[in-house]
Structure 1
Amino acid sequence: MVRKMLLMILGAVALIVVLYQVTMKNLIVDEEPKVSDIIIVPEGAITPERASNAERLLNGGYSKTGKVIVSPYDKNNRPYYKQAGISENQIINEPDATSTYTNATNTLKMMQDMGLDSAIITTSDYHMLRTKLIYERQNRHYGFDLTYVAAYHEVDGKLVTWHDAPQYIQGFARQEFIKFWAYVFFLYHWVDA
């Protein structure tokens, strides 16, 4: 009985280790950007890379409307958008999101209300796997053409992945393991962030 219990515990630990390694290796989803109706930025972290990438895409001509939906656009991230050079009239605020789940549900509904068909979704590289999971799950109700473009972190003037970013960014990335698997099992409100 003890041996069987020990084997079960070891098996569970081994499974968690493998899931952790596979998940962390695949956090970054980064597709080639393509011209779309709008750019959507699911916000939440107080870091500049999301605004910088939105600006790069916007000025690269990837938004037919010349607009970005920021979900939410608030006093915490406003300085990053201003610093990136995105004007207030280029930003459409989605003010009610409290999680990646509500980022997706609210912004896709906005797209429908605006009569749009396509969007680039951009967020921090470590946040892309969960973002794509929930956007694809919610997009089943709409059928929009969505493209996922990762935002990388600037360190000493170079763009780097979360692996080479400052420790606090690596900490955000490590949290994604639990958050991603909670989202897989529809536990959005349990990990509301």
Structure 2
Amino acid sequence: MRLSSLLRIVRRDPKERKKKKPNQGRIPAVGRLQRAGKRLLVLLGVLLILTGLFWLLLPLAGQYLLVDQETDRVDVIVVLSGDRGERMEHGAHLFHGGAADRIIVSGGPVYQETAVADLMFRHAVGLGVPAACVIKEAEAQNTQENALFVKELMDAYGFKSAIVVSSPYHMRRVRLVFERVFTGEGTRLIYSAAPSESFDPNRWWETAQGKRLVISELVKVVVTHLPERWRAILEDA
């Protein structure tokens, strides 16, 4: 080393020699707090967005299940069993409004020799529908059988168009099943939801019954979309 270099080192200010280089790998406490605060704000923003989406999607689930089409003149009104009478009342209302001259009531056995179709028949007559205008389908135990046995009756009577009536939460699955059963038949089907005081598709999560109905129907809709062999396995389980 040259003598001039050694002299410069010796002459350097002692205070300057004692200075420590800053630790560039460490973040000052203030900086760490700022970064933590930003992350917290981002997390809160994400949570707010997810919460908003959750509340937006809740009504969509109920609305998805609802299929309610504009009615027209048809050969027959088909009323499916499964409620306390609102479906039959809606079917009778359509009948009296001139939508069709005949009604099929579909519902299988409930006890001994009585079928739901028998009870629906009495209800229809009580609502002013002439007994001669009501056709009973008294074997169906589920929506699939509703569609199959109603199709047999419609073929037997030569009906080529129908309004299918059920509850709002049931209508999506009804359409899926009926469209599949009637595929290629050239039959015109219209789906009409019966007004319901016990189910609101826009506020279904506010009642225990609403939550049970929507969750159950969404699962059943998924199952309905499965191939037939998988549906059979699940139904037998």
TM-score range, shorter chain: 0.7 to 0.9
Matched, 1:39 2:77: yes
Q: Which residue of 1 aligns with 2:102?
A: 67
CA offset at residue 189 of structure 1? 7.7
Moved more, 78-87 or 66-75: 78-87
Shift in alpha-carbon separation, 1:76–1:190, aligned structure 2, 3 A:
farther
CA offset at residue 114 of structure 1? 0.9
Aligned-pair identity in percent equals: 26
**Could you say what secondary structure the match of 1:26 adopts?**
helix
1:47 alignment partner AA: R
Q: Which residue of 2 aligns with 1:48?
A: 85
Q: Which residue of 1 aligns with 2:95?
A: 58
Q: Which residue of 2 aligns with 1:137?
A: 180
**Could you say what secondary structure the match of 1:119 adopts?**
strand
**Could you say what secondary structure the match of 2:192 adopts?**
strand
Shift in alpha-carbon separation, 1:31–1:77, aligned structure 2, 3 A:
same
Moved more, 45-54 or 130-139: 45-54
Q: 2:144 aligns with which of 62, 82, 101?
A: 101
User: What is the CA–CA distance in structure 2 between the aligned matches of 1:189 and 1:98, rounded to whole Å?
Assistant: 18
Q: 2:63 aligns with which of 25, 34, 53?
A: 25
Q: Aligned residues, how many? A: 167
Contact 2:121 2:134 in 1 (8 A): no
**Could you say what secondary structure the match of 2:65 adopts?**
coil
Tell me which of the two structures has the higher relative contact order, counting C-alpha pairs closer than 8 angstroms and 6 or more residues apart.
1
Shift in alpha-carbon separation, 1:36–1:169, aligned structure 2, 3 A:
farther
**Could you say what secondary structure the match of 1:96 adopts?**
coil
Matched, 1:177 2:237: no
Shift in alpha-carbon separation, 1:121–1:31, aligned structure 2, 3 A:
same
Point out 4+ residue stretches in structure 1 off by more than 2 angstroms. Answer: 20-25, 73-90, 160-169, 171-174, 188-192
**Max radius of gyration: which structure?**
2
Structure 2 gap ranges (5+): 1-53, 108-115
**Could you say what secondary structure the match of 1:175 adopts?**
helix
- Structure number with the higher helix fraction is 2
Q: 1:161 aligns with which of 195, 200, 210?
A: 200
2:72 alignment partner AA: K
TM-score with structure 1 setting the length:
0.74
**CA RMSD in angstroms, aligned pairs only:** 2.8
